[in-house]
Amino acid sequence: MGRILIIEDDKRLAEIIQRGLEENDYKTQLAYDGLMGLRLALANEYDLIISDIVMPEINGLDLCRKIRANKPAIPILMLTALGTTDDKVEGFDAGADDYLIKPFEFRELLARIRALLKRAGNAGHTRSPFLRYEDLEINVHNKTARRAGTEIKLTPKEFKLLEYMLNNPERVLSRSEIAEKVWDTHFDTGTNFIDVYINYLRKKVDKPFETRLIHTRAGMGFILEREQS
Considering only the top CATH level, what class is 3-126? alpha beta
What are the distances in angstroms from CA 92 to CA 4, 80, 100, 145?
Answer: 20, 13, 12, 38
Tell me how far apart the alpha carbons of residues 3 and 108 are, in angstroms, rounded to a whole number.
Answer: 18
Predicted pLDDT of residue 229: 46
3-class SS at 76? strand
Cis geometry, peptide bond prior to residue 129 (ω within 30 degrees of 0):
no
pLDDT, tens only, 109-152: 999 999 888 877 654 445 568 899 999 999 987 889 999 999 99
**Is there a contact between 48 and 73 (Cβ–Cβ < 8 Å)?**
no
The whole-number pLDDT of residue 223 equals 96
C-alpha angle 171/61/115, rounded to 5°? Answer: 80
As a whole number of Å, the CA-based R_g of the chain is: 18
Q: CA nearest 178: which of 198, 204, 207?
A: 198
- Report the C-alpha gap between 42 and 104 in whole angstroms: 28
Query: pTM for the full model?
Result: 0.61
- Mean pLDDT of all residues in 165-171: 91
Contact (CB, 8 A) for 86 and 106:
no
pLDDT of residue 57: 87
Every domain of the chain and the residues it spans = 3-126, 130-224
DSSP helix/strand/coil, 110: helix
Name which residue leads in pLDDT, 6 or 156.
6
pLDDT, tens only, 43-93 = 888 999 999 998 888 998 999 999 988 887 889 998 888 766 666 677 777
Predicted confidence at residue 142, as pLDDT, reads 84
Q: What is the pLDDT of residues 200-222, one digit of tens each?
A: 999 999 999 999 999 999 999 99
CB 167, CB 138: distance < 8 Å: no
Pick the CATH number of 130-224 from 3.30.70.580, 2.40.37.10, 1.10.10.10, 1.10.3720.10: 1.10.10.10
Render pLDDT for 98-109 as a digit per residue (tens, 0 to 9).
Answer: 888 888 899 999
| Distance separating alpha carbons of residues 113 and 118, to the nearest angstrom | 8
Q: How far apart are CA 194 and CA 43, in angstroms?
A: 28
A 10 A CB-CB count for 201 gives 23
